[in-house]
Amino acid sequence: MGWDIEHGANHDLAVSPSGAKVAIPRHKGDLPKGTLFSIIKRILLISGSILSVLYVLMQFGILR
């Protein structure tokens, strides 16, 4: 898929092949629904691919 992961102190970043970044917060427990939808929307706007969304969410353990 070409997405890389950069680890930060409070957030991780999903970096697209074009260099665009999506912040993925680290929460205990489940992500709030609005936060999850915002992450999905941002990845779709960057990549235009639902496969990229699934790939990134799986890399961060959001989808199991």
Whole-prediction pTM value?
0.83
Domain 4-59 belongs to what topology? Metal Transport, Frataxin; Chain A (3.30.920)
- pLDDT score for 42: 95
- Tell the residue number behind the tokens 């235009």, with chain if given: 48
- Tell me the C-alpha distance between 26 and 56, whole Å: 14
The 10s digit of each residue's pLDDT in 5-57 is 999 888 999 999 999 999 999 878 888 899 999 999 999 999 999 999 999 99
50 to 7, 9, 11, 13, 61: CA distances (angstroms): 23, 28, 22, 18, 17
